[in-house]
Amino acid sequence: MLPSKQRAALLSACLTLAVAGTGLIMSTTASAAATRYEAEGASATCDGFIESNHTGYSGTGFCNANNAVGAAAQFTVTASAAGQATLAIRYANGGTANRPADIFVNGAVAHAGAPFDLTGAWATWVTKTLTVSVNAGSNNIRLSPTTANGLPNIDYLDFEANGVSPSPSASSSPPPGRPAECTGTSPIRCNFAVSPGNYTVTAWIGDRASAGNTSMSVEARRRILPAVSTAAGTITQYVFTINVRQPEGQPTGQGGTGTPGLQFTFAGSAPKLSGLTVQPASNPLVVYLAGDSTTCDQMIAPYTGWGQLLTTHVKAGAVIANYADSGESSGSFLNNSALFPTMRPLIKTNDLVLIQFGHNDKQTSASTFRSNLTSMINQVRGRGGIPVLVTPPVRRQFNGSQLTPTALHVNGVGVNLPAEMRNLGSSLNVPVIDLTAKSEALVESMGPTNSAQLYLRESVDGVTDNTHFSEYGAGRMADLVVQGIRERNLSLVAYLR
Ligand code: GCU
Ligand code: CA
């Protein structure tokens, strides 16, 4: 069956507008209405069966893929031009758990472990929307489940390419050209001499004359934009809010103190930059991170904290300020003058403070752990901020197919640290993101062998470490934190890309 044009959206044929949800300001001229690709259609494949036993589907049925990791639904879609595109995936999940899937575009993961939450019944269909970047012409979109439950039932994919700009002059403000602060070609590095604080950064990515593939990172390996492809003549304007601290990585300077000011790295296979401006940001929502080495801005690869990837999920108006530091326990973070005492006075009304400890509370008693966390919670509230407890991500230590108590942060004196955090959350009315449970489900579903890629491996990273994450693993943890932010409906939801 050929894809049919969906006529629902009344889109102007010539308008150029901000795309609010993505951090992408714009670069489009006309975007056509989305094209619908039915999961049972000729442009799709289903690693399972096309069925029609639950009502409410569109077309003649839906894909019920096998309940297994990697049992995919795949679509071949056509993009009118390269750039950003919107995927609207209609699905039903009448099971008992979220069914996350990696969303691959042309073989590369565009969204790792994207959640497909329960819809309540197999006949209840909802649409999940994601933004990806695509090539002009044919693209392969694959939904590949990461757990043994497999995919939800998939009805269709509505696909719309909207990153199209036939000429740079179509941008909301014309690209000012690469500033003097930038040098090099691959990567392009830029250095702005600004004081610590929060900045609105506008980047024009792409080039008038040649095609590009450009990613953007700032400061200590903080990823802001995964690599995006742009056709020759396409320049896309992005706006983000960026936090500058000194030192730029870990607050105690472990791993290096970096360079004062704001540094950018534009990498990718062919980085193209047609403008970059930096201005002070007025009153963004700040999300502070208080945590340990699994969260922090690690200066030195391959070590990567989930806070360094959380930044890819946040659009302008909100900013991540990562005060996490390697080796810290609930008590040392509270008392070290570079850590909680430095962060606390910066907290403004309604700022969020995500608090994750456990890895280094190996000998902490239950009462001390509770009183350290309670002190942080009360002090954050004293500033008008909103504390959020994040239980620690698991270590990769298996006994058979299950994680050990040590992996799950039952500490050396028998305290179940995540359980203490859950209980404290309910007694003090603090939202809890249960990253222990979420990462346990992920690591156990991947199994003892496959889960190694989440952590550091001798063969790839030159070091074996089953506590600290690879960039891939940190990205998966950041995705789980984002899932928790949505579940707890924290104010950051309005700023998620
Ligand atoms: C049920 C349901 C299917 C669904 C399956 C699943 O069998 O009828 O439509 O795909 O559960 O759990 O995946
Ligand atoms: Ca810096």
pLDDT single digits (tens) 64-82:
999 999 999 999 999 887 7
Cα–Cα distance for residue pair 7/195, rounded to 1 Å: 50
Instruction: Determine which of 5-9, 48-52, 368-372, 380-384 has the lowest per-residue pLDDT on average.
Output: 5-9
In a domain, 7, yes or no: no
82 and 193 share one domain: no
**Unique residue bearing structure tokens 């922090």:** 296
Give yes or no: residues 230 and 159 share one domain.
no
Closest CA to 148 of 71, 230, 40, 243: 71
> Quick one: 313 and 403 in the same domain?
yes
pLDDT of 164 above 70: no
Between the alpha carbon of residue 43 and those of residues 20, 56, 151, 209, 465, the distances in Å are: 30, 21, 19, 33, 43
Q: Determine contact, residues 27/236, Cβ cutoff 8 Å.
A: yes
What atom in ligand 1 is closest to the CA of residue 64? 10
Which percentage of the chain shows pLDDT scores above 90?
A: 83
CA of 104 to the centre of ligand 1 (A): 23
Are residues 270 and 367 both part of a single domain? Answer: no
Q: Which domain holds residue 145?
A: 13-163
Cα 16 from chain centroid (whole Å): 27
Q: What is the pLDDT of residue 118?
A: 93
Strands (E), 317-390: 318-322, 352-355, 386-390
Q: Residue 176: what pLDDT?
A: 92
Give the distance from CA 11 to its chain's centroid: 29
Q: What percent of the chain has pLDDT over 70?
A: 92
Lowest model confidence (mean pLDDT) among 21-30, 90-99, 134-143 = 21-30
Residue 481: CATH number of its domain: 3.40.50.1110
Nearest ligand to the C-alpha atom of residue 97:
1
Structure confidence by residue, pLDDT tens digits, 286-340: 999 999 999 999 999 999 999 999 999 999 999 999 999 999 999 999 999 999 9
Indicate if 334 and 398 belong to the same structural domain: yes
What DSSP character marks residue 171? S
Q: Which atom of ligand 1 is nearest to the CA of 150?
A: 13
- pLDDT grade, residue 170 (50/70/90)? very low
Q: Is the CB of residue 93 below 6 angstroms from any atom belonging to ligand 1?
A: no
Judged against a pLDDT cut of 80, whether residue 396 lies above it is answered with yes
> Could you read off the pLDDT of 445-495 as tens digits, one per residue?
999 999 999 999 999 999 999 999 999 999 999 999 999 999 999 999 999
CB 148 less than 6 A from any atom of ligand 1: no
Residue 48 Cα: closest atom of ligand 1: 10
Q: 141: helix, coil or strand?
A: strand
In DSSP terms, which residues pair with 48 in a beta bridge? 65
The total number of structural domains that make up the chain:
3
Q: With a cut of 70, say whether residue 389 has pLDDT above it.
A: yes
pLDDT band at 174 (very low <50, low <70, confident <90, very high): confident
Task: Examine the domain organization and report whether 384 and 288 are in the same domain.
Answer: yes
Ligand 1 atom 8, closest CA? 122
- Of 52, 63, 64, 151, best ligand 1 pocket probe by most atoms within 8 Å of the beta carbon: 64
Q: Is 153 in the pocket of ligand 1 (CB under 6 A)?
A: yes
Select the more confidently predicted residue: 167 or 369.
Answer: 369
Of 113, 111, 35, 118, give the one whose Cα is nearest residue 79: 35
Say what the pTM is: 0.68
Asked whether residue 367 is domain-assigned, the answer is yes
- pLDDT tens for each residue of 2-33: 344 343 333 322 222 333 334 454 443 333 47
Does the CB atom of residue 67 touch ligand 1 within 6 A? Answer: yes
Q: What atom in ligand 1 is closest to the CA of residue 65?
A: 10
Region 243-251 average pLDDT: 97
Range with lowest mean pLDDT among 115-119, 292-296, 365-369, 472-476: 115-119
Would you say residue 427 lies in a domain? yes
Is 68 touching ligand 1 by the criterion CB < 6 Å? no
- Relative to the alpha carbon of 197, which ligand is closest? 2
The answer to whether residue 240 scores a pLDDT higher than 70 is: yes
**Is residue 233 domain-resident?**
yes
Listed residues 255, 282, 309: the one ending a domain = 282
Does some domain include residue 421? yes
What pLDDT score does 243 carry? Answer: 98
Do 179 and 148 lie in one domain? The reply is no
From ligand 1's centre to the CA of 138, what distance in Å? 31
Ligand 1 neighbourhood includes 64 CB (under 6 angstroms): yes
- E strands along 93-221, which residues? 101-105, 108-114, 126-134, 137-145, 153-161, 182-183, 188-192, 197-206, 212-218
Rounded Cα distance, 171 and 28, in Å: 7
Q: Average the pLDDT over each of 1-10, 157-166, 402-411 and give the range with the smallest value.
A: 1-10
**Binding site membership of 122 for ligand 1 (Cβ less than 6 Å):** yes
Angle made by CA atoms 287, 291, 293, in degrees to the nearest 5:
125
Q: Binning pLDDT at 50, 70 and 90, where does residue 163 land?
A: low
Kindly state the tokens that stand for 280. 């002070």
Q: Which atom of ligand 1 is nearest to the CA of 62?
A: 9
234, 254, 282 — which closes off a domain? 282
| Same domain for 82 and 106 | yes
Ligand 1 centroid vs 151 CA: distance in angstroms? 9
Q: Of the given ranges (125-134, 187-196, 224-233, 391-400), which has the lowest mean pLDDT? A: 125-134
Same-domain check for residues 233 and 263: yes
Please check whether residue 6 lies inside any domain of the structure.
no
Q: What local confidence, expressed as pLDDT, does residue 254 receive?
A: 97
3 is a domain residue: no
Instruction: Check pLDDT > 80 for residue 236.
Output: yes
Range of weakest confidence among 53-62, 126-135, 269-278, 336-345: 126-135
Cα of 49 from ligand 1 centre, angstroms: 11
Average pLDDT of the chain, as a whole number: 90
Domain end (from 223, 257, 282): 282
DSSP string for 228-257: EEE-TT-EEEEEEEEEE-SSSSSTT-TT--
**Which pLDDT score is estimated for 172?**
63
Which ligand 1 atom sits nearest the alpha carbon of residue 153?
10
Residue nearest to atom 2 of ligand 1 (CA): 122
Same domain? For 299 and 438 the reply is: yes
The predicted structure's pLDDT at residue 81:
76
Assign residue 204 the CATH number of its domain.
2.60.120.430
Report yes or no on 5 lying in a domain.
Answer: no
For the CA of 152, the closest atom of ligand 1 is 13
Q: Is the CB of 50 under 6 A from ligand 1?
A: no
| 145 in the same domain as 68 | yes
User: What CATH number should be reported for the domain holding residue 92?
Assistant: 2.60.120.260
Does ligand 1 come within 6 angstroms of the Cβ of 124?
no
Same domain for 295 and 187 = no
pLDDT in the model for residue 182: 98
Query: Do strands 386-390 and 352-355 pair parallel, antiparallel, or not at all (unpaired)?
Result: parallel
